Amino acid sequence: MPVENVKSNLIQERPALPADPALQGGSLVKKVGRVSNAADASSGSSYHLCNVPSNGIVDEATDFDVQGWGFAQVVIGTETDTDALLDVTRASGNNQNPFAPGDASHGRTWWEVLGYASDPGGEIALYAHAEAAATAAGEMLFKIAYLTEVK
């Protein structure tokens, strides 16, 4: 077997560019919010949750408490890609976590996990979407967490 001497993505050789500052001890940002839907909300409704920096590193603390959400399906993504982040039935559990420690999203940016081909720069808007009519008035609690470069 070969002997390996490998460096992580945090260790960079000069003159290469330094590793992403967010990966090297960036600040953890948590956006905590809630969004409500009306009992008569119809399919095609959308709910702007928050904006995230495209180059922010996603964190497993991101969580959606869907117990009181008024739709049978929980669909979260971008304005144009409705299920880029999450598409599950509300019955599958009260708390939905799109990221787990050590999963394929580990160390990835928002633009990567949301399926963009390249970093669009700036902010990306996250939305919840209705694929069918509401079953009741409701409210979804959410926490969006990510690492960002220390400013």
| Percent of the chain predicted with pLDDT > 70 | 82
Q: What's the rounded mean pLDDT across residues 58-83?
A: 96
Task: Of 111, 89, 98, give the one whose Cα is nearest residue 145.
Answer: 98
| Percent of the chain predicted with pLDDT > 90 | 75
Span of 10-24, 49-63, 70-84, 123-137 with lowest mean pLDDT: 10-24
Distance CA 143, CA 33 (A): 6
Band of pLDDT at residue 53, cut at 50, 70 and 90: very high
Cα-Cα-Cα-Cα torsion 47, 51, 56, 58, nearest 10 degrees, comes to: -20
> Which residues are CB-contacts of 102 (< 8 A; sequence separation ≥ 6)?
none
Q: Residue 65 in contact with residue 140, Cβ under 8 Å? A: yes
Which neighbouring-strand residues pair with 76?
86, 128
Q: What is the pLDDT of residues 76-124, one digit of tens each?
A: 999 999 999 999 999 999 999 999 988 999 989 999 999 999 999 999 9
